[in-house]
Amino acid sequence: MKKTVVITGASAGIGYHAAKSFLEAGYTVYGLSRKAGDLAGVKYISTDLTDEKSVISAFEKIGSEAGAIDILINNAGSGISGAIEFTDLSDAQYQMDVNFFGTVRCIKCALGIMRQKGGKIINISSVAAVFPLPFQAFYSASKSAINALTMSLRNEVGKFGNIQVCAIMPGDVKTGFTSARKKSEAGDEIYGGSISRTIAGMERDEENGMTPEYMGRLIYKIATKGKLKPFYTGGPQYRLLVLLDRLVPKSFVSYVLGKMYIKH
């Protein structure tokens, strides 16, 4: 029987190319997103990850049609930027609802299907979980929460012996995520223009980042491994940075991040 993979945010960017890699390998691919994508062969289901009923309905459909979920890839996400003190809490809460609780909703539904036959849960995090970015605090916090969730879940489901969990942390990737980011420059004059200049610099880095095709193939490669490690970093240059974070004092890491990103 063909194996089944469920990918959130499969209509564009990294999720689209991950879906393409799984299709080429012969998987049945379900794509959960607000709007259906145009990748032929993907079974798209319109899903709002912030709506529990919408998520439950999608997984009930998958369970009835496929009977099993071999791999769940929690890839969908949104981004906001701005100074912490001037960010509307409603925007911060929505950021967490999509990136963190959206992932939680999918995991809760998938586990009930996976428990009997086993499966893998791949959470797409970010290098920003390890290196929290200035003026992207809430995005960084949502990804740090994904890492913590991943570690907790690994131990919780370890007793079943047939469910594996990991998180993949990409660095800068050139996708539509950059233009879709909700940017706020509120308080920019108080910060001497640092908010607008810092975010502009980060977006230039993203535009010159890895391709979504590369990340899609990497996700497929990791997801089909026999045994998953807790964390993987997307991009060789970022692997070195994550390693250094474990070896040097946090005060030094904070200093370097400030020098790298804050544009005065």
| Residue pLDDT, tens place only, 160-199 | 999 999 999 999 999 999 999 999 999 999 999 999 999 9
> Measured between alpha carbons, how far is 226 from 223 in angstroms, rounded to an integer?
9
Which residues neighbour 60 within 8 Å (Cβ) at sequence distance 6 or greater? none
CATH number assigned to the domain comprising residue 218: 3.40.50.720
pLDDT for residue 35 is more than 70: yes
Number of domains in the chain: 1
Which residues are tagged catalytic? 11, 125, 139, 143
Which has the closest alpha carbon to 139: 84, 73, 221?
84
The mean pLDDT value of the chain amounts to 94
Q: Which of 213, 207, 201, 198 is nearest to 178 (CA)?
A: 207
pLDDT confidence of residue 242: 80
More confident residue, 36 or 232: 232
Question: Which pLDDT score is estimated for 257?
Answer: 77
Q: What is the pLDDT, as a whole number, of residue 176?
A: 92
In whole angstroms, give the CA distance from residue 161 to residue 195.
47
Chain centroid offset of residue 179 CA: 17
Cβ proximity of 12 and 36 under 8 Å: no
The distance between the two most distant Cα atoms of the chain, rounded to a whole number of Å, is 60
pLDDT band at residue 264 using 50, 70 and 90 as cut-offs: low
Q: pLDDT, tens digit, for every residue of 2-26? A: 999 999 999 999 999 999 999 999 9
Closest CA to 39 of 50, 31, 51: 31
What confidence score (pLDDT) does residue 254 get?
82
Written as six digits, the tokens of 193 are 């223009």
Q: Which amino acid is at 168?
A: I
- Tell me if the pTM is above 0.85: yes
Residues in Cβ contact with 177 at an 8 Å cutoff, skipping those fewer than 6 apart: 13, 77, 79, 206
Write out pLDDT tens, residues 146-170.
999 999 999 999 999 999 999 999 9
What is the residue range of 169's domain? 4-261
Q: How many CB atoms are located within 10 Å of the residue 112 CB?
A: 11
Query: Is the confidence at residue 106, as pLDDT, over 80?
Result: yes
